């Protein structure tokens, strides 16, 4: 087994592609497991022999097993935010997560990093949060030493959060402030999450949650500021100022 190979499922996604790049900076060889491996070359180029796209569908055991063969570590960055058709929160965050963990353990993988979500709770009234919690339980049962990453909403270029808000603020004369503007949000920069995952795979860290983590070296990589929409509104007048403020408010 090559102890430097990491297979990243969801490696072409918003977080996954950044995890791939940070793993390479840490010296890992990376397999980018995706249903659409043809998307890898436009994202990562053709010049790095330590990056290898592989076709894999988390619903298909054989393709998953092939992607896992000989790997030292696995990152599950597959996620779903809107249910459609057969792709449900249960099928992706519970069944597929469990499948990856079971097959990874069976293949002799040493480290399993599972990207969940902040507040994951199997008893939550929210279906999304509940399935995130159930997924963690399923992964833990299959791979006892799994690393769990529970980021808050992530922002960065091409995100589905900050970019959308800024566009709406630019287009609408009035913007609704959910939670009466008092609901606290703690966005985290996607590159910080990716770097934390790559670093955690080199250290024996077992959990990264929201704005905290279990060892000092990572604490500076995760933002500690929590804002309400009212507090952030003045910064929204300048997108660059807002992004920079979120990035630096630690």
Domains and CATH numbers, the chain: 5-150 (3.40.50.720)
Q: What is the tens place of the pLDDT at every residue in 164-188?
A: 777 787 888 877 776 666 767 778 8
pLDDT of the residue at 214: 38
Location of structure tokens 């909403």: 153
d(CA 134, CA 129): 9
Nearest to 194 by CA among 24, 64, 25, 20: 20
- What percent of the chain has pLDDT above 70? 78
Under the banding of pLDDT at 50, 70 and 90, the label for residue 217 is: very low
Contact indicator for 55, 63 with CB cutoff of 8 Å? yes
The answer, yes or no, to whether residue 3 has pLDDT greater than 90, is: no
CA 227 to chain centroid, in Å, comes to 22
Greater confidence (79 vs 227) lies with 79
Q: Which residue has the higher pLDDT, 236 or 182?
A: 182
Q: Is the pTM of this model over 0.95?
A: no
CB 60 within 8 A of CB 236: no
Say which residue, 123 or 203, is predicted with more confidence.
123
The model's confidence at residue 220, banded by pLDDT at 50, 70 and 90, is very low
């Amino acid at each position: 087994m090559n102890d430097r190979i990491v297979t990243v499922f969801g490696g072409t996604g918003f977080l996954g592609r950044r995890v791939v790049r940070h793993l390479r900076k840490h010296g890992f060889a990376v397999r980018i497991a995706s249903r659409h491996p043809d998307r890898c070359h436009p994202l990562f180029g053709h010049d790095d022999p330590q990056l290898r796209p592989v076709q894999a569908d988390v619903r298909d055991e054989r393709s998953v097993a092939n992607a896992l063969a000989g790997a030292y570590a696995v990152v599950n960055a597959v996620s779903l935010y809107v249910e459609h058709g057969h792709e449900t929160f249960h099928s992706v965050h519970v069944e597929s997560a469990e499948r990856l963990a079971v097959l990874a353990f069976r293949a002799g993988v040493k480290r399993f990093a599972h990207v969940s979500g902040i507040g994951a709770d199997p008893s939550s009234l929210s279906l999304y949060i509940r399935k995130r919690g159930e997924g963690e339980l399923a992964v833990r049962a299959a791979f006892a030493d799994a690393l769990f990453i529970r980021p808050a909403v992530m922002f960065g270029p091409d995100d589905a959060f900050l970019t959308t808000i800024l566009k709406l603020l630019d287009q609408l004369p009035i913007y609704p402030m959910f939670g009466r503007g008092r609901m606290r949000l703690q966005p985290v920069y996607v590159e910080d999450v990716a770097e934390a995952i790559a670093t955690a795979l080199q250290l024996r860290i077992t959990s990264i949650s929201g704005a905290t983590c279990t060892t000092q070296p990572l604490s500076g990589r995760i933002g500690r500021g929590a804002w309400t929409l009212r507090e952030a509104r003045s910064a929204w007048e300048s997108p660059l100022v807002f992004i920079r403020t979120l990035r630096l408010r630690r």
